[in-house]
Amino acid sequence: MSKSECPEALKNCHPVFLKLVNPQVRDILTTDINALTSLFDDVEELDDDTIVWNEQTTRVIFPEVRQALSAFLEQGIVVPQTAQFLMHFKHDGLTYGTSYKHAGNSRIMLKSRENVLPIAARIEYIFQLRFSASVKTFIAFRRYQRGSIPTNPFSCFPILEAQVLGNELGTIKITEPAQLICHFGYLPTKIEGEKVLFAVPLSRVSLSFEI
């Protein structure tokens, strides 16, 4: 953007680009600090755009979400008929959104009990349920399936936590914000004739550039 031939319209967008690629916002240190701080906070801090429950904005829960909820919630808990659906919300200083609202903010990494690598998924819905004593936020997501190639070319760089994903998505599952780790960046490509996605958690990389 420092080139003389750069269009004036792009130069005027310089502050916006700086926010998008600012390593102080997206790098591993910031993400880890936010995660560690949340472990020691006795009181959960509310985000600036915390949604206040409004009965007038509630909607009937979609069938696919209700079905996933039945397997997620403990037995004996009565699921309300309606929920408040959100387009985005903040968690540990990061903004997460639905795939309909913002494709980038909907691509997430979740904590996994199955293996070392986190779960790569896409947020389909963000919603709140009102129970007798509280309002809780939930995330409905679809998990990216593993790529069909036999080996992960990034396995020799475990610090990156990179993985090869397929283009297919699984059925809707439900989780809570506490399971969120970060967003992930991805690169569509072909390996051995198969279309795959290279996915890297944004908490594992530091974005930098030279002007």
Q: Which residue has the tokens 């929920």?
A: 83
Q: 71 or 42: which carries more pLDDT confidence?
A: 71
Whether residue 74 has pLDDT greater than 80: no
Whether residue 186 has pLDDT greater than 50: yes
Please indicate, yes or no, if residue 90 is contained in any of the structural domains: yes
Determine the structural domain holding residue 177 and report its residue range. Answer: 8-204
Whether residue 48 has pLDDT greater than 50: no
Whether residue 182 has pLDDT greater than 80: yes
What's the total number of domains in the chain? 1
Residues 200 and 185: beta-carbon distance below 8 Å: yes
Burial class (CB in 10 A: 0-12, 13-18, 19+), 55: exposed
Binned at pLDDT 50, 70 and 90, residue 176 comes out as very high
pLDDT (average), residues 157-176: 86
The chain-wide mean pLDDT, for the chain, equals 78
Whether residue 76 has pLDDT greater than 80: no
Neighbour count for residue 40 (Cβ, 10 Å): 6
CA distance 20 to 31: 15
138-165, pLDDT tens digit by residue? 999 999 988 777 777 777 777 778 888 8
Question: What pLDDT score was predicted for residue 141?
Answer: 96
Question: What pLDDT score was predicted for residue 35?
Answer: 52
Whether residue 102 has pLDDT greater than 60: yes
Please indicate, yes or no, if residue 149 is contained in any of the structural domains: yes
The percentage of residues in the chain with a pLDDT greater than 70, rounded to a whole number, is 78
Q: Which residue has the tokens 């069909």?
A: 148
Please indicate, yes or no, if residue 77 is contained in any of the structural domains: yes
pTM: 0.71
Please indicate, yes or no, if residue 186 is contained in any of the structural domains: yes
Dmax of the chain from CA atoms?
67
Please indicate, yes or no, if residue 1 is contained in any of the structural domains: no
Please indicate, yes or no, if residue 139 is contained in any of the structural domains: yes
Copy the structure tokens of residue 49: 């755009």
Neighbour count for residue 152 (Cβ, 10 Å): 15
Residues 119 and 109: beta-carbon distance below 8 Å: yes
Question: What pLDDT score was predicted for residue 126?
Answer: 94
End-to-end CA, the chain: 7
Which string of b and e fits 97-114 if b means at least 16 CB within 10 Å? Answer: bbbeeeeebbbbbbeeee
Please indicate, yes or no, if residue 2 is contained in any of the structural domains: no
DSSP letter for 168, please. E
Please indicate, yes or no, if residue 110 is contained in any of the structural domains: yes
